[in-house]
Chain A
Amino acid sequence: LAKTTQPISMDSYEGQEVNITCSHNNIATNDYITWYQQFPSQGPRFIIQGYKTKVTNEVASLFIPADRKSSTLSLPRVSLSDTAVYYCLVGLLTGTASKLTFGTGTRLQVTL
């Protein structure tokens, strides 16, 4: 399974764009890249998923270069409520291979 590396923490002011990069050098051909957000004492929540290039939804964008060895989660105009831990997961769920490992997430602190 691909090991991921993210910054341990990041600080931002409200209204700024935040980019969190995840390294996954040994990503497998069929692996997807998925980002989750976790608030204290709550279960992780899906943010966005991608395989290559760029994916955008209503809350974030995900940029994946051609070699797929890294990915960047972009949060536009963060607010205080975006203060959370963000996890990058790399893997493939196929039922019979159902193991997704959380690495050390990035603790984002947003202040006024």
Chain B
Amino acid sequence: AAGVIQSPRHLIKEKRETATLKCYPIPRHDTVYWYQQGPGQDPQFLISFYEKMQSDKGSIPDRFSAQQFSDYHSELNMSSLELGDSALYFCASSFGQGGNEKLFFGSGTQLSVL
């Protein structure tokens, strides 16, 4: 079965550079979530989109922005990267209507800021 696809798997950037992370949800899933997980930490919710509109916002820095496109894929744009942005970034998708839907996570993008 198709899963959530994230690209790239690994990304190395330098401070003050920009990065774009991509997420392709499971077909027919209309909701996308982004999480950040630092080394040894628990996943932190960043932002979510439902039907291409932002639905909820968590601890996402102002330097980050995200959107969901007409084909439901999503991109997380990160600017002015800082060392502390080094983390594993997960995307998850769900079908947003049922209330008891479960999240399906991708394998993540490991971002290293040098």
Could you count the A-B residue pairs with CB atoms below 8 Å apart for me: how many are there?
Answer: 87
Number of chain A residues whose Cβ lies closer than 8 Å to a Cβ of chain B: 29
Known A-B contacts A41-B110, A95-B51, A102-B44; the reply to A34 vs B99 at CB < 8 A is: no
Give every chain B residue within 8 A of A15 (Cβ-Cβ).
none
> CB distance B108 to A34 under 8 Å?
no
- Docked complex Cα distance between A41 and B10 (Å): 12
Give every chain B residue within 8 A of A81 (Cβ-Cβ).
none
> CB distance A49 to B97 under 8 Å?
no
Cβ contacts B34-71/A at 8 Å (1 or 0 each): 01000000111100111100011110000000000000
> CB distance B88 to A41 under 8 Å?
yes
> CB distance A95 to B42 under 8 Å?
no
> CB distance A93 to B100 under 8 Å?
yes
Residues of B participating in the A interface, judged by any CB pair closer than 8 Å? 4, 30-31, 33, 35, 42-45, 48-51, 55-58, 88, 90, 92, 94, 96-108, 110
Give 7 closest A-B pairs by Cβ, nearest first. A43-B105, A95-B96, A99-B56, A98-B48, A95-B50, A98-B55, A46-B102
